[in-house]
Amino acid sequence: MTLRIRVRAGRILWFSGLVVMVLIVIAPVFVMFKYAISDRASVVTGGMPIPLWPFHPTLEQFRGLAGTEQFLAAAVTSLQAALLSVTLSLAIGTPAAYALSRYRFPGVMVLATALISIRLFPDVVAVVPVVEIFTRLALVNRVLGVALAHSLLAAPYVIFIAMGVFDTIPIELEEQARILGAGPVRSFVRIVLPVALPGLAAAAIYVFLLSWDEFIFSYFLLAFGEQSTLPVILQKILSWTPQHNLLAAISVVLSVPVVAFTFLVQRYMQTGAMAGAVK
């Protein structure tokens, strides 16, 4: 009897814990959505408590954003930069990681760690020489320049993640392909890449997020151009202290592509990609 009560108490405790954790995660998202669809009266209450749900839910803020050309252009630029960053950093990072993983030479880990430690410098320090170099290469005020900078920032992580992925793929798969007549390129494309895909998808999500969020490099690299990314626009908007509901609407717009991209890529992320390969 006492045992049963204790078991039930344990369950209730566990369940309450779960509810609290879910609330902690959900609460900010809820608040963001609530504000984003709030009418002016639900935000500017003149000292009255702010309602839990807006008096008159509205999409007014979104309509406003959709009508702001500057904002739309920035969204497009951001998306371009992010997708380009994903492509570039994977294109650079994947082969590099493969080489590092397969051709183990003394000091591989030192090299890999050195790559990562580049990121130990604050971005503000790195941005000056990067802008300097990119100016000479005519890469400033262009999406390509931003994407390249973001790829440079992401590359060490991509290499690190991908190295870990390649390390889990037994060399015997490639040897078997070789015996069956596949050259190195075919074996990489037909065997290694598909098997590595779930891990590489994780890297892709990481790069997308990094680029989408990045402010400092985007700001300086696009300083004198017509284009701008969302974080940069956001900074401008913040400088004239807008209403909470506009800010929240912007936040929603900023979150959507990240969530969408993650969902899209996540389909490749089933676990157990290696299951059944060996033994």
Partner 1 sequence: MTTVRLEKVSKTIGATPVVRELDLVVGDGEFVTLVGPSGCGKTTTLRMIAGLEEVTSGRLYIGDRLANDVPSKDRGIAMVFQSYALFPHMTTAQNIAFGLKIRKVPGDVVARKVSWVLSLLNLKGLENRRPRDLSGGQRQRVALARAMVVDPEVLLLDEPLSNLDAKLRIKMRAELKRIHRQLKTTILYVTHDQVEAMSLSERIAVMREGRLAQVGTPLDIYRKPTDLFVAGFVGSPTMNFFDGTIEQKEGKATIATRAFELALPEPVWQRCKTHKGKTVILGIRPEHIYRRGSSRIKEVSGNTVKAVVTVVEPLGDRVIVEVERSDVRFTLVLPEEARMVPEMAVTAVFDMEHCHLFDRASGKRIAP
Summarize as ranges the residues that interact with partner 1 (CB under 8 A).
170, 172-173, 175-182, 186, 190-191, 194-195, 272-279
Q: Which is nearer to partner 1, 62 or 268 (CB)?
A: 268
Tell me how far, at minimum, the Cβ of 276 lies from partner 1, in Å. 3
Tell me how far, at minimum, the Cβ of 159 lies from partner 1, in Å. 23
The dihedral through the CA atoms of 85, 90, 95, 96 has a sign that is positive
Indicate the residue type of 7: V
Indicate the residue type of 253: V
Alpha carbon 257 to chain centroid, angstroms: 10
Indicate the residue type of 132: E
Scanning the structure block, which residue is given the tokens 């401008």?
Answer: 236
Tell me how far, at minimum, the Cβ of 274 lies from partner 1, in Å. 5
Tell me how far, at minimum, the Cβ of 85 lies from partner 1, in Å. 27
Q: What is the DSSP string of 165-231?
A: HHHHS-HHHHHHHHHTT--HHHHIIIIIHHHHHHHHHHHHHHHHHHHHH--HHHHHHTTTSS---HH
Q: From CA 32, how far away is CA 34, in angstroms rounded?
A: 5
Q: From CA 279, how far away is CA 52, in angstroms rounded?
A: 56
Q: From CA 16, how far away is CA 263, in angstroms rounded?
A: 29
Tell me how far, at minimum, the Cβ of 178 lies from partner 1, in Å. 5
Q: Which is nearer to partner 1, 120 or 278 (CB)?
A: 278
Q: Could you say which DSSP state residue 190 is in?
A: I
Tell me how far, at minimum, the Cβ of 151 lies from partner 1, in Å. 27
Q: Which is nearer to partner 1, 80 or 176 (CB)?
A: 176
Q: Which is nearer to partner 1, 139 or 200 (CB)?
A: 200
Q: From CA 69, how far away is CA 95, in angstroms rounded?
A: 39
Q: Which is nearer to partner 1, 119 or 178 (CB)?
A: 178
Q: Which is nearer to partner 1, 132 or 175 (CB)?
A: 175
User: Hey, what are 39's tokens?
Assistant: 């009418």
Alpha carbon 181 to chain centroid, angstroms: 39
Tell me how far, at minimum, the Cβ of 206 lies from partner 1, in Å. 22
Q: Which is nearer to partner 1, 129 or 272 (CB)?
A: 272
- Cα atoms in the 13 Å half-sphere on the side-chain side of 92: 18
User: Hey, what are 199's tokens?
Assistant: 């891990």
